[in-house]
Amino acid sequence: MPPTRPFSLDHARLLDELAATDNLLIIQDLDGVCMGLVGDPLTRRLERRYLDAARQLDGHFFVLTNGEHIGSRGVNGIVEALFETPDRAGEQGRYLPGLAAGGVQWQDRFGSVSHPGVTDAELAFLEAFPAQAEAFLDALLSRPPYGLPADVRRDLIAAAVLDNLASPTLNLNVFYRHWRDAPARYRALQIAAADFMRERLEAAGQAGLDDAFFIHYAPNAGRDAQGNERLRESVDDGSNGGNAGTTDFQLMLRGAVKEVGVLVILNRYYHRHTGHYPLGEAFNAREAPRDHAALLQLAREHFDPALMPRIVGVGDTVTSFIQPDDPQAERQRGGSDRGFLTLVQQLGDAFDSGNRVLYVDSSGGEVRRAGVDIERLSRHAENPDIDVWPALEGISDADDPLTLDVIFPHGHSQYIDFFCTLTARWASTAPQPAPSGYDG
């Protein structure tokens, strides 16, 4: 079968292609992909049928997220809410296996969690972050130009400070909605939050944890010359709600980037299916190289091409834009899923394994972001002479090295329908996996 055309809406063809693939590996983001984007993570919901389908793909499906499995705002609590008692999820192996916190928090499907390569001192520094963030916001918001009453501050801060164990976060979505009629205040808070995050890095250095952490902005404006992610400032462009820019400010462990997580998952996948770790049993995100060329070379040197699976990378956060106040500036490309989707694409090219990059349009959620123009995409599918790029404004561009093979324009519900159908067909014909053991 010839390769799928870029930006395809032909889900039936993709379904036939993947259902006939024995050596399949799905690596999938969570928020915006299998559940809607929401302002408050505590309101997220998963569908039971999705969990049931993921269980059928045992050994061939792993998540890769900047969120976390555990904690008050982790995905495990959302999973447990779908069962009569919380312990049922673990007993039945229904947790979502894979990497969280950008790649440093591993979980099998029974809920066993570990943090390979992370020290106690690093975890202790991260543990102190939520209280520091709360104090920072409370002091800032009590002063002009904000001057928010104590009870309002309390509720907003409670929603904004995410006490994740390995990736504590300031999520400013609640403030973006609160100041929808005063966007300048939200932009000022963005800048103040970025300054606060940089102060945390300086404090880590003073505590003897130099180079232990980095700041992850989501969505972001790509990376600067030093490799640091760039803040994407909010833009009041006159559209419906404008663009919130960066909403999540995460203190992440160095090495916790999703593209590295792809190799960590592949290493475990090979062990699951061959009994051998190509990169060594102790390989983890903290010790892996940080640039794509080195990661790709590592894969070429250690992974048997004959056993390389067809990898399907699924994400929703990819950006490409030019600053409206400087149209002559260089286009900025970013998004928290861009790195791992790009590596999936590169691995497919390097190993001729037919990898696929799937993009789920999450613009219909509570978080403002660019969405695809489905009407134009549909016309482009019928007539390739129709310029496709206006349909992907803010997401991709004509010179983008990342190609989105298949798009789900109707968001997570459309993807879940596809995922469940694929799983049912694949599980009915694919060989049974080995017992899950450590890596399930």
Q: How confident is the model at residue 435 (pLDDT cuts 50, 70, 90)?
A: very low
Q: Please state the length of the chain.
A: 440
Q: Could you write out the DSSP letters of every residue in 352-421?
A: T---EEEEE--TTSSS------HHHHHHHHH-TTS--GGGGTBT--TT-S----EEETT-HHHHHHHHHH
**H or E, element range at 310:** strand 310-315
C-alpha angle 263-340-420 in degrees, rounded to nearest 5: 95
- pLDDT value for 436: 44
Contact between 126 and 68 under an 8 Å Cβ cutoff? The reply is no
Beta-strand (E) ranges in 154-294?
A: 161-162, 169-171, 213-218, 220-223, 229-231, 248-253
**Predicted structure pTM score:** 0.89
- pLDDT value for 440: 54
- How confident is the model over 155-183, as pLDDT tens digits? 999 999 999 999 999 999 999 999 988 99
- Amino acid letter at 191? I
Q: If you search the block for the tokens 């399930």, which residue do you land on? A: 440
- pLDDT value for 2: 52
Q: Could you write out the DSSP letters of every residue in 136-163?
A: HHHHHHTSTTT---HHHHHHHHHHHEE-
More confident residue, 235 or 194: 194
- pLDDT value for 242: 52
List Cβ neighbours of 307 (8 Å cut-off, separation of 6 or more).
23, 270, 273, 274
Distances (CA, A) of 416 to 38, 49, 224, 345: 17, 9, 35, 22
Check whether the bond before 2 is cis (ω within 30° of 0): no
- How confident is the model over 328-341, as pLDDT tens digits? 678 889 999 999 99
| Terminal Cα-to-Cα distance of the chain (whole angstroms) | 31
Please name the residue ranges forming H helices in 98-142.
120-127, 129-141
Q: How confident is the model at residue 402 (pLDDT cuts 50, 70, 90)?
A: very high
Beta-strand (E) ranges in 24-176?
A: 24-28, 61-64, 98-100, 105-107, 113-114, 161-162, 169-171
- The phi and psi torsions of 268 (rounded to 5 degrees) equal -75, -35
